[in-house]
Structure 1
Amino acid sequence: MTRLSNPELELLKCLWRHEVCSARELHEGVASALDWSYSSTRKTLERMVEKGLVGESKHHGLNVYRAQVGKVATIAELSRDFTRRVLEIEGPLPVQAFADSRLLSEREIEQLEALLQSPEADEQP
């Protein structure tokens, strides 16, 4: 997976919460996290479409966006990257670290634990 920028992650989190959003809805959804212009949101969305992170379609003549990457798989990859690259920890991150997440449901935490514990996770660079 391509390393995500902070704005890309914020836009994905908004899409994971709402499933489908217009650019304006996304801009308003990330306004508290990103202090930037609407045109910056649009440009970032265009790049995300090109990267395959987000899909774009028309709905009643309006461009709408949907995440093309899964929330749990993306969080697992980001977590593995952080623990290895930043914390220099080999092996899985304890799932307790995600217990108070407002982004993940209990079921998603269980799925995340399975991904983080899988042997394939240790083989990735």
Structure 2
Amino acid sequence: MAIPSISELTVLKSLWRQQPLSAREIHQQVEGELGWSYSSTRKTLERMLDKGSVRQHTVHGVLVYEAALEKVDTLAAFAHDFGRRVMEMDTPLPVNMFTGSKLVDENELAQLEQLLHDWPEDGRDEAK
């Protein structure tokens, strides 16, 4: 799985909380964190469409977006990458690091733990 950029992750998090959303609604949710213009939000959404990270369709004449990437899979990829590249760890990060997160519930936390535990160790994870 290709890991989204930090700004793309911010957009995905807004969509995981509520979807579908228009570009304007997404911008309203992310502008405080990212501090950028509406045109930057639109450009990021176009890039994410090209990558397959989001899907676009029309509802009542308005273009709306939905996350195409699953939340738990994406978070597991980030956590795995952080553990491997940043912390130089060969073992999965302990799932208790994510306890108290507002982004995942107990069920998703269990899924995340399983994904991190079962992550391939032979370098093929970049090709997913």
Fold conserved (TM > 0.5)? yes
TM (norm. structure 2) is 0.93
**How many positions carry a matched residue from both structures?**
124
Letter of the aligned partner of 2:87 in structure 1?
Answer: L
Q: 1:84 is paired with a residue of what secondary structure?
A: helix
For structure 1, the 5+ residue unaligned runs are none
Letter of the aligned partner of 1:108 in structure 2?
Answer: E
Question: Residue in 1 aligned with 2:81?
Answer: 81
Q: 1:121 is paired with a residue of what secondary structure?
A: coil
Does residue 1:121 correspond to 2:106, yes or no? Answer: no
Deviation at 1:3, TM superposition (A): 2.8
Question: Residue in 2 aligned with 1:59?
Answer: 59
Question: Runs ≥4 in structure 1, deviation > 3 angstroms?
Answer: none
Deviation at 1:121, TM superposition (A): 3.1
Does residue 1:105 correspond to 2:105, yes or no? Answer: yes
Higher relative CO (Cα under 8 Å, sequence separation at least 6) belongs to 2
Query: What's the % identity of the aligned pairs?
Result: 49
* Contact 1:27–1:38 (CA under 8 A) maintained in structure 2: yes
For structure 2, the 5+ residue unaligned runs are none
Instruction: Tell me, in whole angstroms, the C-alpha distance in 2 between the residues paired with 1:104 and 1:85.
Output: 23
TM (norm. structure 1) is 0.95
